Amino acid sequence: MPVTALGRARPAQPDLASATYGPMYRTKLRDGAVAGPNFAGGYTVVLWGCGTGCQILSVVDPRTGRLSGQTLLTANGVQYRRDSRLLYVDPPTPEQPDNCASCGTPAFYEWRDGRFIPVGSGPHPHLGGPRPWQTDCAPQDTFSVSKTGPYTCPTPSR
């Protein structure tokens, strides 16, 4: 999923108010955004730990500082490139056993129009799962991604 232009601008400060998780993770987002564009031509992937075997991934637009409305939960990290919109979440590593229960589920996502779009037949569990903040859900967050059924963004509690 190549991109045609690679951004080189000095990154803006993250707009912490642009996503509900922004204020909670302000230090990690600010520290990560300083690196500048490292993904999809002109975006910055920021990854931080949320416990043993848990990471949260966000994307920052370095031109505006806007944070992605969606985040991905990973168990084994992510692979990505500056010249591609493709993310490989929970990639297997040579040292992990075949039956590793805590290594996550390998899956691909495309970063398109400010959203993580599942690639392939799934499963794609990284969009779901508990978050310690109110999620930014929209009707387009429902995907048929596996034989176990669609991922549906949870209904916000009021």
**Sign of the dihedral defined by the CA atoms of residues 103, 125, 2, 31, in that order:** negative
Q: Tens digit of pLDDT per residue, the chain (158 long)?
A: 666 655 566 899 999 999 999 999 999 999 999 999 999 999 999 999 988 888 999 999 999 999 999 999 998 899 999 999 999 999 988 887 777 777 888 999 999 999 999 999 878 889 877 777 765 555 444 443 333 444 445 444 44
Per-domain residue ranges of the chain: 16-151
Q: Report the C-alpha gap between 107 and 90 in whole angstroms.
A: 7
Give pTM, 2 decimals: 0.79
